[in-house]
Amino acid sequence: MGMTTILKRNILMINGYSDDNKGDSGIVIATIEKIYEHINMNDVNVHLNSLFSVEDPHFTTHNRFVSSHVSSITTSLFPSYRSINPFKRFVRIFISLCRSFLMLWRPQNSTLHRQLNNDEKKAIELFGASDIVISKGGSFLYDNQDSFRTILTFYRMAFPILLAIRMGKTPILLGQSIGPAHFKISRILLSYIFNNSHVLLREKVCYTRYISGWYSKELETMPDVAFSLKYSYVKEFEKYLGYCGITLLTKYYFKSKKAYINYLKKMKEVVEWLAKGDIEILLIPQVVYPGANDTDSINDLFTHCNTNTRKKLTIIKNDYSPKQLKYLYSKLEFLLAARLHSAIFALSECVPSVNLSYQGTKSKGILNNIAMGEYCLDINTSSSGQIISKIKDVITNRRDLVLMLKSMNSMVNDSIDKKISSILS
């Protein structure tokens, strides 16, 4: 009697961003860890479709941590072209845009496939061969009212989801913050995605503020999967026990040089206040993407501080994985976070955090879900005095906050576990 061959399930994760962003990378790894908790590793292949082309000189670097957790990483079918000159970028984007329309029109067309290289053929074939398609969590489906160019970025991010739908799949939008969608075309595409996908928002407030006015059907919610990320032990981090951690935002996110300088001034005042209180401070780069590297703002802040304050500052310089960084955050007394996922990493280890929100509803919404909403401040409008006041509150109430976070994290992880189990069943 012959042996029965058991075919492995194929799960494709799309919208895989760069490992230079430890928050995005942490979401991907945490999702894969959860998949392996529910399906034996020998019974499933998890693949990742990158947002970058294999022709990108940084393709391998972009996936240096995630690569060990997946069976394969395929090239983007509508990649980012940041590594080439503006004219070539324009030409390639135009060609990619035209090809994307053809792929959505007739994704199985043999004539189209002959125009693809081998890496692209493998990528599109994997869309068709996958049993489950998961669009990783995060915040990338939105446009900006003051920039028509953001429609192209929005479409490029939506394209893998649209392609999965056109290939007969029901993609799962897992723990995402969506909106705002100012332009009509963005709302049309989102409505199509919502009607043909299983949508799990990260926070209810993004639905009520950005979606409910033009889309009437209720959408499910779930916590950010990064809350469930397991840390990796790093011995040298033991020496940072009891430090105050700080993550900063790069000038890339500010509308003007003046706004960035005002931000640095506020942070300088906060850091100097901490230093006077004899608190050791750890400056942690959470995003190290070329051109938007947190280390740049860390160095700017360090330069602006006086000599006595600098003695209290320690800068993390090595390139650590999300799992390693999470262990680092677990050692802290508290965290002042401009990077949302640095706050999530810390809070999930019961380390109280003050979060400086810079975009949309994601920070406030996620912190509200774990009863920490009062510790979320707007990065542009909050004064150094208001930030210091919240830090004082955290220091005074730390014991109670830790106990509360233990309870909230238990509920959060239970919710994540149930949602992942449901989509895999």
Q: What is the pLDDT of residues 360-380, one digit of tens each?
A: 789 999 999 999 999 999 999
Q: Quote the percentage of the chain above a pLDDT of 90.
A: 81
Which whole number is the average pLDDT over 299-311?
Answer: 96
Give the residue with greater pLDDT, 38 vs 83.
38
**pLDDT, tens digit (0-9, with 9 covering 90-100), for 102-118:** 999 988 877 777 888 99
- Nearest partner of 322 among 74, 53, 18, judged by Cα: 18
Question: 46: Cβ–Cβ under 8 A, 6 or more apart, which residues?
Answer: 11, 13, 32, 35, 69, 70, 71
pLDDT at 82: 67
Contact indicator for 40, 9 with CB cutoff of 8 Å: no
**pLDDT, tens digit (0-9, with 9 covering 90-100), for 17-31:** 889 999 999 999 999
Distance from C-alpha of 27 to C-alpha of 296, rounded to nearest angstrom: 24
- Hey, what amino acid is at 250? T
pLDDT at 255: 87
Mean pLDDT of the chain, nearest integer:
93
Which whole number is the average pLDDT over 52-78?
Answer: 91
Distance from C-alpha of 49 to C-alpha of 126, rounded to nearest angstrom: 9
Which whole number is the average pLDDT over 195-218?
Answer: 94
pLDDT at 4: 47
The domains located in the chain, with CATH, are 9-222 (3.40.50), 235-410 (3.40.50.2000)
For tokens 């919404």, the residue is 365
pLDDT at 86: 77
Q: Quote the percentage of the chain above a pLDDT of 70.
A: 97
pLDDT at 6: 55
Q: How many residues are present in the chain?
A: 425
pLDDT at 1: 44
CA end-to-end distance (rounded Å), the chain: 31
Judged by DSSP in three states, 91 sits in helix
Highest mean pLDDT among 7-21, 76-90, 97-111: 7-21
Structure tokens at 359: 């975009």
Model confidence at 188: pLDDT above 60: yes
Model confidence at 88: pLDDT above 90: no
CA distances for 90 relative to 87, 94, 95, 97, 368, angstroms: 5, 6, 9, 10, 41
Model confidence at 100: pLDDT above 80: yes
Sign of CA dihedral 82, 83, 86, 90: negative
Residue 184 burial (CB < 10 Å; 0-12/13-18/19+)?
Answer: exposed
pLDDT at 56: 84
Distance from C-alpha of 221 to C-alpha of 202, rounded to nearest angstrom: 6
